[in-house]
Amino acid sequence: MSASLRLVHPPEDLDSERWDAVLRRDASADGTFWTCVKTTGVYCLPSCSGRPKRENVFFTETRAEAEAAGFRPCKRCRPDRFLIGGVKDRIDELDWGRAHDALNTNGWAALGRLLSDEDCAGLINAYEEDALYRSRVVMRRHGFGEGEYRYFADPAPQLVSDLRTGLYEKLAPLANEWAKALKQDRTYPHDHAAYRRRCAKAGQKRPTPLILKYGPGDYNRLHQDLYGGEVFPIQIAILLSQPGRDFEGGEFVMTEQTPRRQSRAMVAPLEKGSAIAFAVNERPLEGARGTYRVKMRHGVSEVRSGARYCLGVIFHDAA
């Protein structure tokens, strides 16, 4: 709505309309602009229960602008959890510049929220719908840990395939940079359908998106999701349950191994509906004496109580 409003109203009118929406705590305006509060350094939704003064407030069109100006999401109204539009819009709205920087620096990036509570509940409830899946893996049988997971059949539900194609397009440019830095003679096409055709040519034809399910005592050993010679170097996990409420423990953990160094452990803070991008296998690290090859693994610490579900989106298919 803001784009059309902007065409017909001078900026000062738009600002006063926005301020009126803030005074009304108008939830219907949520997501159409963001209120930066200079005195607290936070940005809010119009519906926030906070009562800032007019002179302490300015507005931005996007969250990225508010964050770039140094503002943090308000802890009360959680503008960072507000979802706009469908999956494709939500993916477009994420701060990919920052995500690529974090992936280059740490090998992983917290992307923020991509799925609503309803999306998460829908995926969890569909876990027992056999027709949606091609296989079920009981982790103990393979020494992978405790718990189980199911791979979606082809075609995956719309939500899952929208995530897979949309996220792939944002990550392919970075995958190409990594391939170059690691002196790998390969490039990744910019759309996922083309990449899947390449996987199929390499004999990897089975889809890899999956849902993992953990109960009390379950965990996932550190591993790499490699399914053949064709590897897309970055993958995504989206937590479907709320830590501290739906389950305790069950942290998403990663290790990275740099040549001639001990391993470094990292724990990613995840909330229900929020996503993490991380290196599948190897990533380049620019060091004083050139580019190092860093090996990463990921897993999940023991779930102490409750039920933890996670959606895994891997971009290469399996043999």
Ligand X SMILES: O=C(O)CCC(=O)C(=O)O
Rule CB under 6 A: which residues touch ligand X?
212, 220, 225, 237, 252, 298, 300, 310, 312
The residue (of 59 and 252) whose beta carbon lies closer to ligand X is 252
The residue (of 228 and 312) whose beta carbon lies closer to ligand X is 312
Which of Fe ion, ligand X, none has residue 67 at its interface (CB below 5 to 8 Å by kind)?
none
Which of Fe ion, ligand X, none has residue 216 at its interface (CB below 5 to 8 Å by kind)?
none
| Least gap, CB of 235 to ligand X (angstroms) | 6
Which of Fe ion, ligand X, none has residue 21 at its interface (CB below 5 to 8 Å by kind)?
none
The residue (of 172 and 310) whose beta carbon lies closer to ligand X is 310
Q: What is the C-alpha separation between 36 and 23, in angstroms, rounded?
A: 14
| Least gap, CB of 110 to Fe ion (angstroms) | 17
* Burial tier of 253 (Cβ tally within 10 Å: 0-12, 13-18, 19+): middle
Which of ligand X, Fe ion, none has residue 212 at its interface (CB below 5 to 8 Å by kind)?
ligand X
Residue 127 backbone phi and psi in degrees, to 5 = -60, -30
Q: What is the C-alpha separation between 258 and 27, in angstroms, rounded?
A: 48
Instruction: Decide if 312 contacts 148 (C-beta within 8 A).
Output: no
The residue (of 67 and 225) whose beta carbon lies closer to Fe ion is 225
Q: What is the C-alpha separation between 219 and 245, in angstroms, rounded?
A: 18
Instruction: Decide if 199 contacts 231 (C-beta within 8 A).
Output: no
Q: Interface with Fe ion includes 225 (CB under 5 A)? A: yes
Q: Interface with Fe ion includes 148 (CB under 5 A)? A: no
Q: Which stretch binds Fe ion (CB under 5 A): 22-30, 50-58, 109-117, 221-229?
A: 221-229
| Least gap, CB of 260 to ligand X (angstroms) | 28
CA-only gyration radius of the chain, Å: 21
Residue 5 backbone phi and psi in degrees, to 5 = -60, -40
The residue (of 44 and 254) whose beta carbon lies closer to ligand X is 254
Determine the Cα angle at 249 with ends 245 and 250, to 5°: 100
